[in-house]
């Protein structure tokens, strides 16, 4: 049951103090490095978002570290 990203909530840690584009809490804390950031077109992305998290479901070990660390509440466990 891998973690999933709610694209309406995820902003790639854009507004998190101390975070620059290209870094996010979930990417930094994932113990198996299955999360990466994907660039968005700010003109068409929700809330002018520049990037969002992407989770490799095959690599995810269901540890829920990303869910606990996400300040936007954008990550949850899949029910597949």
> pLDDT tier at 54 (50, 70, 90 boundaries)?
very high
Q: What does pTM read for this prediction?
A: 0.85
> pLDDT tier at 36 (50, 70, 90 boundaries)?
very high
Q: Residue 38: helix, strand or coil by DSSP?
A: strand
CATH of domain 3-77: 3.30.70.20
Three-state secondary structure readout of 59-79 = CCCCCCHHHHHCCCCCEEECC
Please say whether the dihedral angle defined by the alpha carbons of residues 37, 42, 45 and 48, taken in this order, is positive or negative: positive
Q: What is the pLDDT of residue 63?
A: 96
Domain borders along the chain are: 3-77
Q: Residue 48: helix, strand or coil by DSSP?
A: helix
How confident is the prediction for the chain on average, in pLDDT? 89
Q: What is the pLDDT of residues 37-50, one digit of tens each?
A: 999 887 777 777 88
């Amino acid at each position: 049951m891998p973690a999933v990203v709610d694209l309406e909530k995820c902003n790639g840690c854009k507004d998190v103090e101390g975070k620059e584009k290209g870094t996010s809490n979930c990417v930094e804390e994932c113990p198996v490095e299955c999360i990466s950031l994907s660039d968005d077109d700010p003109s068409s992305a929700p809330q002018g978002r520049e990037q969002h998290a992407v989770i490799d479901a095959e690599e995810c070990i269901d540890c829920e570290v990303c869910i606990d660390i996400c300040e936007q509440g954008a990550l949850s466990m899949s029910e597949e």
